[in-house]
Each structure stands twice: as structure tokens, then as C-alpha cells.
Chains A and B, each alone.
Chain A
Amino acid sequence: MRKNRRNDLKWSDVTPRADYLNRRQIMAAGGMAMGAGLIGLSRPARASIDARPSEYSTDEPLNSWEDITSHNNFYEFGLDKGDPKRNAHTLTTDPWAIVIDGLVERPGTYDLADVMKGQVLEERIYRLRCVEAWSMVVPWIGFELGALLNRVGVQPGARYVAFQTLMRPEEMPLQSMPILDWPYREGLRLDEAMHPLTILATGLYGEEMPNQNGAPIRLVVPWKYGYKSIKSIVRISLVEDQPQITWKMQAPSEYGFYSNVNPNVDHPRWSQASERRIGGGLFAKRIPTQMFNGYGDEVASLYSGMDLSEHF
């Protein structure tokens, strides 16, 4: 099923750094955007993570670093898209450990370095489709979740994987408010979790994961709405029954367990037929949303025989 969608050049081979830093800011450097531009430029001087290119990457134009790191849904840090960038600096990501438990052969508390031990980092350039009908193209750095699960050993009874975000209200201010039922929870069916498209990401654009994007380690499931890709993970549990997930707990009529991107099944309050690609400015054309966010060749078989309007 794998398709060779692109050659083995990475973005860093073809895109001068000044170009993927927000071009608009550089153009506007003489004006009032100067301040914002300087923030954008205050990043480490060169890419720090080396990652292999992947045949799963799309060759669509990338969103800029600025787009990806200043337009985030990370409710622990605020409800506005700009809040996580403003507020997530309070998050301590070192030391970091993940509890892996449930139906696994080698349960335990794994230090982040231990989680990543032996994993081959790849660059995965994926489309990200938010349930709010906007989208981006993000060059993630990460490794396949399946590789980690194989390492810890999945017991035969396990059918689902449950994930939890860090619960630390002193660093995540909105966890003190009843916005959602904290901590944030997500889940996948085991075959979804083992699918090679499903990754744990630890960086983007060759840099370590910015806090507002879910540092130090987050899930990325590109054929599902963005909220499935849970951030700042501290717990991974192999379980028998379908786990609770935060948005479904919040509004079961609006958010389902599967949450596959599907232009034919609307959110009860808005259409999912098309989307706005972030970064195109005021007059960017809407684009049609693709079934499974364009990953149907890889994942449609996971859902054969299922009524996706019922299992949304």
C-alpha cells in the first residue's frame, strides 16, 4: 500500500531557513510586525534533530513555523488559538516520564529517553485537519507508535489504547477551571494504534516539539480530526474496552470515538465538506475536505463494513 509520494529530499535540503521562517514577517520587518518577526527569529539557529524522510510524507506546501506554533488548540493553556503560544512556556517538560500500563508484558514508568530508545526518528509531513474546519501541513518528527507498543509487548486481550495528557494545574492554568473534564483523554482501537501512519511526535521542522504543540511527546493520527492527536502524553494504557475520550465525554452527540475526517458526516453545528488551509491570508480559497483526510488508501480498510455516519 505504501506509495512513493516524494523523493528523499527533506525540507531542509531544499528550503533555506529564512524561507520557512514566516516570509510575511520578513517582508513586514520594517513595519509593526517587527516585534512578532523577532520572536519568530529567536529560535535556535539551526535544526537540531536529524530525521529520516518518509514515503508517507505529502509533498503539499508546508505551513510556516509561525503558522504551526501560533495557532493551537491546547485548552490547558487557554481557549484562544494564540493562548498556547503565550502561556505554554510554564510547562516543565524535563524530566518527563510515561506510565505504560494495562495489558502489556512490560508495564512501568518509562523515562522519555527510555521511550525513545532505539526508535528511528522520521520526518512525517502530514495534513492536519481540525474538527473546526481548518487545516495545516506539518513536518512532524517522530516514530511509529506501533514500534513502542511492540517493545513493551501487547497482551492478547488488549483491544484499545488509552492516552492521557499531563495533569498539572500549577503549570496548565485552565486545568483549574471546569472547561473540560481534566486530564485530557484520548483513545484508539489497537489496529489504529498499530497502523504505520500513527506516530508519536517529538519535534517538528527539525526542532524539538514546542510546548504549545504538545511537548515533549504527542500523538499524531493524520486521518482523524486534530483533537485525537493528544498532546503532552504521560500515560498509555492497553485496555480491553473502548476508553473514554474527553470531547466525547463533553458532547457525545458532537464528537465520536472514531473522529475520522469525513466530508460526508457533518458536525451537528457546522459542515465538514470543506476547510480553510491556514496561512493563505485573507483571500485563500477554501479546499474540499478529503475522506480520511486524504489517507483513505492507507486506512479505509480499517473501517470496512462499518457505518461511518453511525461510528463518527
Chain B
Amino acid sequence: MPAAQAINAQLRRIPTWTVYVAGLVPFAWIVWLAFSYGLGVDPVKELEHRVGKIGLQFLIAGLCVTPLRRWTGVSLLRFRRALGVLAFVYVAIHLLVWLVLDLQFRWAEIGADILKRPYITIGFAGFVLMLPLIATSNNWAVRRMGAAAWQRLHWLTYPAALAGATHYLWLVKSWPLETLIYFGIVVALLALRLPLLRRRRPA
């Protein structure tokens, strides 16, 4: 696939730090909106929802890397760590907005929510699953663990993404199309990992 090779050659010229910087632009934009009254009359909810959705989008982007390479030969592998770290950063900000600005450290309500509300339980579980991932998203950890063990650990991305999409689907009233689409994308990307669907490789 010469086209894919040409694209890969171009991609190799892009330093990975640019992905981190570009990935934080949406957050900077949202913060700007938050302080310029651009988030509407309920800025806390808007901030919480937007940041959470971007976290889910980065998780999905990370899950796209392998299928994209397998089907088209285009490799974004160099950028996958950045995508994963950005996903964590956004999910962590989402959690902090909920704790600090939304529930304002009302620990009784926070604890009850995490334990009793399935959508919060599963969202929080998704965050917890990402903790070992962020802790090992560095070269030192890969070397120390060995590639195979490191890869096995990072399969936690799959349940984390599923938890995120379920959290989103579960928290809304009714069945809005958008949340169903996110959920469908995550399920489809995970299904592509099933051995049956994994075989096809580019010629």
C-alpha cells in the first residue's frame, strides 16, 4: 500500500508532543468559555458533560489505532500513548468537576452516588481501571514490565471504554441517538478485537 506508506512517512515527521498540545486545546477553549459566560446558564453541567465526552472521544480514538493499521496500513501507533494519556486527563478533569464544582465535596451524597447509582458506579469504575494505565504510560514501565505483560495490562482499556460508554448511555433520560451512537462505536471497536474478526490483513 504505497498510499499508506506515504502517509506514514509524513506522520513520522510529526513530533508526538504536538498531539498533547493539540489535545489540550479543547480544554483551553472550554475553560475560556467557562470564564466568559459561554457555557450557558448552567456552566457546571456543561463543563462536566463536555469534558467527559472529550475523554470518551480520546478513548475511542485510541481504540481506532489498531483497526486503522490493520485495515489501511496507516499507523498512528506513535501517537497512541498521547491519546490514552489525554483520555485519562479529560476523564480525571470530568471527575474533579463533578466532585468539586457539582457536588462540592458533599461526601455523603458523593459516596451514596458512587455506591448506589449504577451509572456513577460504572463511570467511577472506568476511572479506576484507567489508573494502572496512566501509571504505566511511560517507557520505563514498558521496559520494566516486559512488552507482553504491559500489553496484557493495557487491555484494561477495553473495559474502561465500555464503562465510559455505558456511563454515558445510562445517565441520560430516554434513549438519545447520540449516546447510542457512542455506545455502538465502542462496542464495534471492541468487537473488532474478537479473534473471528481480527484475521483480515491488508494485502
Contact = CB atoms under 8 A, between A and B. Distances in A.
B106 A24 contact: no
A24 B37 CA distance: 7
A38 B12 CA distance: 48
Chain A residues touching B, range:
35 or more
A274 B106 contact: yes
Nearest to A64: B41
A269 B170 contact: yes
Contact of B43 (A271, A282, A285): A282
A79 to B, nearest CB: 5
Contacts of A195: none
A82 B40 contact: yes
A134 B106 contact: no
A282 B170 contact: no
A271 B109 CA distance: 7
B38 A33 contact: yes
Contacts of A269: 117-119, 170-171
Contacts of A31: 36
B174 A179 contact: yes
B160 to A, nearest CB: 21
A270 B117 contact: yes
Nearest to A31: B36
B113 A271 contact: yes
Interface in A1-44: 24-25, 28, 31-33
Contacts of A285: 104
A49 interface: no
B154 interface: no
A274 B109 contact: yes
Interface in B94-129: 101-104, 106, 109, 112-113, 116-120
Interface stretch (A65-73, A162-170, A186-194, A237-245): A65-73
Contacts of B40: 70-71, 81-82
Given A28-B37, A32-B38, A276 B174 contact: no
A286 interface: yes
Contacts, number: 76
Most-contacted residue by chain A among B106, B171, B173 (CB, 10 A): B173
Contacts of A81: 40, 42
Given A279-B41, A283-B101, A250 B106 contact: no
A128 B102 CA distance: 19
A273 B109 contact: yes
B2 interface: no
Contacts of A32: 36, 38
Interface residues of B, number: 33
Contact of A134 (B35, B45, B118, B175): B45
A117 to B, nearest CB: 36
A250 B109 contact: no
Given A271-B109, A274-B109, A79 B41 contact: no
A71 B174 contact: no
Given A24-B37, A279-B41, A286-B106, A79 B113 contact: no
Interface in B31-53: 34-38, 40-45, 47
A79 B174 contact: yes
B102 A271 contact: no
B176 interface: yes
Contacts of B112: 271
Nearest to B177: A177
A312 interface: no
Interface in B167-183: 170-177
B34 A282 contact: yes
A48 to B, nearest CB: 24
Most buried by B among A24, A67, A71, A270: A270
A180 interface: yes
9 contacts: A24-B37, A32-B38, A79-B174, A82-B40, A134-B42, A179-B176, A271-B112, A282-B35, A285-B104
Given A33-B37, A180-B174, A286-B102, 7 more contacts: A25-B37, A31-B36, A67-B41, A269-B119, A281-B43, A282-B34, A286-B103
